[in-house]
Amino acid sequence: MFGYIYPEKCELKLRDYETYEAYYCGVCKAISRRYGQIPRYVLNYDCTFVAVLLDGCMNKARFEKEKCAYKPLKEKKLVAYDSPSIDFAADLNVILAWFKVLDNINDNDSIKYQLARLTLKKYIKKAEKYSQALYNVIADGMTKINEIEKQKSDSLDAAASAFSQMMKNTVACSEIEGRSQRIPLENIMGELGRWVYIIDAWEDREDDRKNDSYNPFNLSGAGKDRAEFLMNISLNNALNAFDLLDVKKNGAIIENIIGMGCVKRTKNATQKE
């Protein structure tokens, strides 16, 4: 994922936004604890959503107020701790960042991306140690996506479906138990994965055209209406899956992110030419 999934802040209650920020800080601190300081720079909103979503089902996080090392002059903030969902999100964040860098190198083998690869190389070894299964899911999924992209498929759904399936498969690597919880979570992760791939491709089409990089919108000639339709279908499917989920907490935050934050992001992307 690439940092697209975040809440519509003005529509959240203050305490809900504080809770969301606590998970964001919690994932950041989990990355620091498990990998060190440098990988904290790859922290993104998408994996914060994963922590909020999974812990909403597991309800294991504890919350404490403390200072942020990067903002020592500000007052203490609420931080989420001690949840396997937060550690899972931290590992997922680092693994996705690694494969995003490799994908960028395939598109544009610049010094910037090579330096990023060298920087993250030692941390990806730790990620494999923490969760070999999760690493394998992402590695296998990215291999399939790269094969589709090398074939220059003009299908809007081929690579998006492969990315969707990859994100869906990550749920099996978490500590979520029970088919009744797993299936809706898989569908939420899968549909949001599809949405992320489509919106990323839509927004990157001009850069991809200049760099002669793969982009299904450039190859198919599909326009704004088609892009918006596909994105909205995925978000509607994710909301339908959420209705089947038995969340113990964070329900208002999750619904806000999918039903408002992602919807607004879609409108912003498709209205901008």
Count of structural domains, the chain = 1
- pLDDT tens-digit series, residues 131-188: 999 999 999 999 999 999 999 999 999 999 999 999 999 999 999 988 899 999 999 9
Considering the chain, what percentage of its residues have pLDDT values greater than 70?
99
pLDDT value for 106? 77
Q: What are residue 60's phi and psi, to 5 degrees?
A: -115, -10
pLDDT value for 74? 81
Residue 145 lies in a domain: yes
Mean pLDDT of 61-89: 89
* Nearest-angstrom CA–CA distance, 235 and 233: 6
Residue 4 lies in a domain: no
More confident site: 71 or 147: 147
Structure tokens at 252: 């208002």
- The model's confidence at residue 1, banded by pLDDT at 50, 70 and 90, is low
Q: Is the pLDDT of residue 273 over 70?
A: no
Structure tokens at 108: 């544009």
Mean pLDDT of 1-29: 93
CATH code: domain of residue 29: 1.10.600.10
Helix, strand or coil for residue 81? strand
Residue 61 lies in a domain: yes
Residue 33 CA, chain-centre distance (Å), reads 20
- One-letter amino acid for residue 224 of the chain: K
- One-letter amino acid for residue 201 of the chain: A
Residue 247 lies in a domain: yes
Residue 224 lies in a domain: yes
- pLDDT tens-digit series, residues 98-138: 999 888 777 776 787 788 888 888 899 999 999 999 999 99
Q: Is the pLDDT of residue 265 over 70?
A: yes
Mean pLDDT of 9-29: 96
* Nearest-angstrom CA–CA distance, 170 and 176: 11
Full domain range(s) for residue 178? 9-271
- pLDDT tens-digit series, residues 209-254: 998 999 999 999 999 999 999 999 999 999 999 999 999 999 999 9
Residue 1 lies in a domain: no
Residue 2 lies in a domain: no
- Report the 10 Å Cβ neighbour count for 49: 29
Q: Is the pLDDT of residue 2 over 90?
A: no
* Nearest-angstrom CA–CA distance, 271 and 228: 9
